[in-house]
Amino acid sequence: MLVVVSADGYLSDAEADLLSTVLGRMQLFRSYPSEVMRRMFDKLCGVLKKQGNEALINAALNSLPHELYETTFAIATDLVLSDGEVTEEEEQLLGSLCNALEIPNETVNEIIRVMVIKNKG
C-alpha cells in the first residue's frame, strides 16, 4: 500500500495520514500509535528509495498472510482511486500487485468495480 501512495517517489504528510487512517481501520493495525506508523512509513520509504518498488512488494509478500492478499489489493485500489485520478504509474503498480498476489482476474475486476463505485463523487 505504501508503494501505491508514494508512487511519485515521495510520501507527503497527507498521504501518510491517509494511509494511517486506512490501516487504522484494520484490526491488524488498530493498536499502532500514529507516531509508530509514521516511523514505519519512513523506514519503508528508505527501502523503497534504495531498493525500489519490487523489493518492497516482495518483502511485504514474504510476511503477508495469504488470506490478506485480496484485502491488500482492495485497499491499494481504494487508495489509488481516492484522489479521483489514476496515473499510468499507479495503474502499472496495481497490475504488478495483482500479479504478485496471484489474484484471479475475475476477483480483480470485481474489486476494481466496487472501489470505483465507492470513490465516485
Q: Please give the grid coordinates belonging to residue 32.
A: 499502532
Q: Which domain holds residue 81?
A: 2-118
Q: Let me know: does 55 contact 47? Beta carbons within 8 Å.
A: yes
Side-chain-facing half-sphere of 24: CA atoms under 13 Å = 13
What is the reported pLDDT for 89? Answer: 85
pLDDT digit string (tens) for 11-54?
A: 777 777 788 888 888 888 888 888 888 888 888 888 888 998 88
d(CA 83, CA 8): 14
Domains of the chain: total: 1
Instruction: Report the CATH number at residue 94.
Output: 1.10.3680
Q: 64: closest CA among 119, 26, 36?
A: 26
d(CA 78, CA 80): 5
pLDDT digit string (tens) for 62-103?
A: 999 999 999 999 999 998 888 788 888 888 889 989 999 999
